[in-house]
Amino acid sequence: MAVKSTKEKSVDDMQLELSQSLIELGEKCLQPSNGDEHHFDKIIIEMRNVMKNYSTSEERENIQLDSIAKSLFKLSPGCILGAINECFDSNYGSKKMEIKYLDNNLINADNNFEKTETDIVMEINKEIHHLEIQTLNDQNMQYRLFNYAIAIGQLKKEYKNLFKNIHMPIQAIIYLEKNNNIVDQQIKLMAKNMKDWDYYIKTIRLWNYTIDDLLAKKMYCLLPLIILRYRKECASIVNTKSQAKKKKIPDELAKKSEELKATIQRLTDEIEKLFKNKLITEDDMHIMLLAIVNLTEY
C-alpha cells in the first residue's frame, strides 16, 4: 500500500501519527543512556524533525485554538460580561446588556462583492463591537483591524448632506499566547489637508492575567484559556540550545506536567463554584470544562 504524503493525510491521521511518534520519543527519554552523552540530544533532534513534518497540522491547530476562544464568547451574558467590559473599556451590567451576534462574513456590494471574514461582531445595546482573537503575532494586524472596521462600518452606513457616513465599531483584540514582539494596535492617519487622526484598538495580552485576575474582573469565559501558557513554556523547554538544560528536559517537562495538573484542578474547582453560586449557567460550565479538555490536548 502506498504511503500517504502529509498533504494527502486527514487531520485525524496526522494527529494520530504525531501522537504515536511523540509517545515513542517520550519512552526513549525514560530509557537508560548507556553512557551515550548525546542520548538526549539525539531525541531532541528527532522530536524537532517530527514536528517539522506537521507544520500544516500546527497551522490547523492554531485555527482550532481561535475557534475554541470564539465559542467562549458565545456563552451567557453573565459569563462574558467581565471580558466584554475589559476588552472594550465599558461598564455594562448583565441586566442592562442586550447582545445580538451579527454575521461575521461581510460582503461589500459597493466593492465588487468583496468578502471580509472577521472573528466576532456583536451589537451590544445597539452599539456595534468587533473582537479579534489571535494566537500568533501578525505585523499587519493594525491594517487588518482598520480594514475590518471599515467593512463592519458599512453595516450602518448612511448618506447625509451628501456625505457617506460610516459608523466605525468599537474594536479590541485578544492575543492568546505570549510574544514580546506584540505591540499595542494603533494607526496614525495623515493627510496634508486634514488633521492627523490617531486610531487605537484595545490590545489584550491574555498571559498578563492570572486566574485570580480573571475571577476578580468577572472575566469568567476566559478561564479555560489560562492553560495555553503551558504550551509555549513546554516548547521553550524542548527547544533550548543550552547543553546543560537539554539534559534536564525530562525533569523540566515532568515539573510542568504537575503544574498543569494543579492548574486544571484549580480551574475546574473555580468553574464549579461559579455555577453553584449561580454566576454562570450549567451550559456555561459544560462548555468551559469541555474547552479545558480540548485545550489540554495542545
Asked if residue 154 has pLDDT above 80, the reply is no
DSSP 114: E
The pLDDT assigned to 198 comes to 84
The three state secondary structure string of 22-67 is HHHHHHHHHCCCCCCCCHHHHHHHHHHHHHHCCHHHHHHHHHHHHH
Range name among 60-69, 87-96, 197-206, 233-242 with the lowest pLDDT average? 60-69
Mean pLDDT for the chain overall = 79
- Confidence tier at 148 by pLDDT (50, 70, 90): confident
- Confidence tier at 139 by pLDDT (50, 70, 90): confident
**How far apart (Å, rounded) are the C-alpha atoms in residues 142 and 46?**
38
Over the stretch 209-222, which tens digit does the pLDDT of each residue have? 999 999 999 999 99
Range name among 30-44, 136-150, 182-196 with the lowest pLDDT average? 30-44
The pLDDT assigned to 3 comes to 39
Range name among 137-146, 176-185, 236-245 with the lowest pLDDT average? 236-245
**How far apart (Å, rounded) are the C-alpha atoms in residues 39 and 16?**
26
3-state secondary structure of 221: helix
Q: Pick the residue with more confidence: 2 or 250?
A: 250
R_g of the chain, CA atoms, integer Å: 23
Asked if residue 113 has pLDDT above 60, the reply is no
**How far apart (Å, rounded) are the C-alpha atoms in residues 281 and 288?**
11
Asked if residue 14 has pLDDT above 70, the reply is no
- Confidence tier at 256 by pLDDT (50, 70, 90): confident
Within 10 A of 73 (CB to CB), how many other CB atoms are there?
21
